[in-house]
Amino acid sequence: MPAMRAHSSVERRTGVRRMRLLSAAAAICVLASAGGAAPILDPAHITEQTLDNGFRLVIKAEQQWGLASANLIIRAGSAYEGEGQTGAAHLLEHLLFEATDARDDQRIGPAIESMGGQINAVTTRDFTYLELTVASQYLDEALALLAQAVFEPQITSVAVVREREVVARELTDRLDSAGGALDDLLWASAFSVHPYRRPIGGRPADVTDLTAEDLLDFYGRYYVPANMALVVVGDVDAAALGTRVAELFGAHTGAPVALPEIAPEPRPTDVTVAVDTRPSAATIVSFAWLAPEVEDFDEVCAMDLIYTVLGEGRLGRLHAALEEQDLAVMSDVQYLTQRDRGLMIITALTAPDKETDVRTAVLAEIERLRAEPLTQEQLDEAKRVMRISYAFSNESYSDQAGSLGFYEGLGDYRLAVEYIDRLDAVTPELLQQVAIEYLDPDAYTLAIIRPEPRPGTVEEARATCARLSVQG
């Protein structure tokens, strides 16, 4: 993700469970350095406070480098958009960058960059956040700009018209890609009730219909201090920073926010298949199952270990079942922890004539997880891999601020601190129980991107297979 104003509908990788293969040498270094050391997100270094207006502050003071990273989280994701407001959360995120530095009239992005820093903003389904990193001596100025961005946004008709054109072009470009089209097709098919079904940034037509009044309504409901949190990690004096944050963010008022009660998505009882075509020589198949929400954190940790067993690069079961059998060019496993039940996703890129074989092989691995509990040795290996990934993904101050901020956005930063202990507590029995509860080989969503039929040809029909539900 680019550092400067890389507006994107894609959630940050903090909290997104994606597989990466770490070298044996790197793994040994991490494990050796971790032995007997304090945890990376050491609670002894973390302080927190809630200002009188409800604004939350979490600080992890470190003196290793003369840098500071800050994440400002607003619980204003796309799931909370009202009727006729689809795309408002992401468009509003764009408009936050209209804030200017009163000293030289620079917008917030170039102003932070002139300090030698970097800034970015991202909209997710559950929250929006701005993240920045600067040398510690510039943190005061950077936070002042951050406060200005969220409390004095330039939501004017002129600005909205300009930015919605930019966003609509971004969304059009995304839909022109097979990956973007597949993602939207999968989420829209997997959810029938819950607003997670909508694309995070909306669709081009949704965005071009948005007005300044729509954005002001969304802003007024959610951009209030009691719905915000600031996480700072780095070379700072926690007491002095707390005083400064109270000056910058504590004077603003706003009624406490009661986030909307969203009806849970019903459990699927059958297989839903959605198909699109693209000018391509390959087929992409993507399975999705409803997966644990953040409130069920022990189940979240178990699902993390499941995706590790399935998708840990060349060591994962799917690689052995698909790539090593020459059924797929690549496979990928994703699981994003969200406030409500999200999706566990398995994707494979294959030749059109191998589609059915790939689908059968994936479902066979799902059935294996349900039928055969992991041995303690297999589970310990998966936990070792996750500990290494956790260490690497929390190396920098910005990574740590991202981890703490991600879980604060979902409810409580402490989940990031407790993560390894909760992961270590998962048993083979719990993992199998979670696989049985969530990964039903007869009830899931399947999105497929197939090559467009050549002129004069008819697309081959796909026969239904018994038991493993290879339908469509």
Q: What is the pLDDT of residues 52-83, one digit of tens each?
A: 999 999 999 988 889 999 999 999 999 999 98
Q: What is the mean pLDDT of the chain?
A: 86
230 and 289 together in one domain: no
Asked if the structure places residue 194 within a domain, the reply is yes
Backbone angles phi, psi at 336, to 5 degrees: -110, 120
**Residue 196 DSSP code:** G
Q: What is the pLDDT of residues 365-386, one digit of tens each?
A: 999 999 999 999 999 999 999 9
217 and 323 together in one domain: no
Per-residue confidence (pLDDT) for residue 63, from 0 to 100: 83
State the Cα–Cα distance between residues 383 and 370, nearest whole angstrom. Answer: 19
| Residue 215 belongs to domain with CATH number | 3.30.830.10
Asked if the structure places residue 151 within a domain, the reply is yes
242 and 310 together in one domain: no
The helix (H) or strand (E) run that includes residue 334 is strand 330-336
State the Cα–Cα distance between residues 15 and 196, nearest whole angstrom. Answer: 17
Backbone angles phi, psi at 179, to 5 degrees: -65, -45
Q: What is the pLDDT of residues 265-288, one digit of tens each?
A: 999 999 999 999 988 899 999 999
Which sign does the torsion angle of CA 246, 249, 253, 257 carry?
negative
State the Cα–Cα distance between residues 402 and 3, nearest whole angstrom. Answer: 14
Per-residue confidence (pLDDT) for residue 456, from 0 to 100: 58
Per-residue confidence (pLDDT) for residue 12, from 0 to 100: 33
Cβ pair 441, 317 in contact under 8 A: no
Q: Is the pLDDT of residue 300 over 90?
A: yes
Predicted confidence band of residue 101 (pLDDT cuts 50, 70, 90): low
State the Cα–Cα distance between residues 301 and 305, nearest whole angstrom. Answer: 6
Q: Which domain holds residue 429?
A: 271-451
Look at 23-27, 55-59, 292-296 and tell me which has the smallest mean pLDDT.
23-27
Q: What is the pLDDT of residues 458-472, one digit of tens each?
A: 554 443 333 344 444
Predicted confidence band of residue 457 (pLDDT cuts 50, 70, 90): low
71 and 157 together in one domain: yes
Tally of CB atoms within 10 A around 60: 26
Mean pLDDT of 248-270: 89
Per-residue confidence (pLDDT) for residue 238, from 0 to 100: 95
Global confidence as pTM: 0.86
Nearest to 304 by CA among 468, 415, 442: 415
235 and 282 together in one domain: no
198 and 318 together in one domain: no
195 and 52 together in one domain: yes
Q: What is the pLDDT of residues 322-374, one digit of tens each?
A: 999 999 999 999 999 999 999 999 999 999 999 999 999 999 999 999 999 99
Q: How big is the chain, counted in residues?
A: 472
Q: Is the pLDDT of residue 36 over 90?
A: no
Helix (H) and strand (E) counts in the chain: 16, 14
Q: What is the pLDDT of residues 138-166, one digit of tens each?
A: 999 999 999 999 999 889 999 999 999 99
Per-residue confidence (pLDDT) for residue 111, from 0 to 100: 86
Number of domains in the chain: 2
Asked if the structure places residue 243 within a domain, the reply is yes
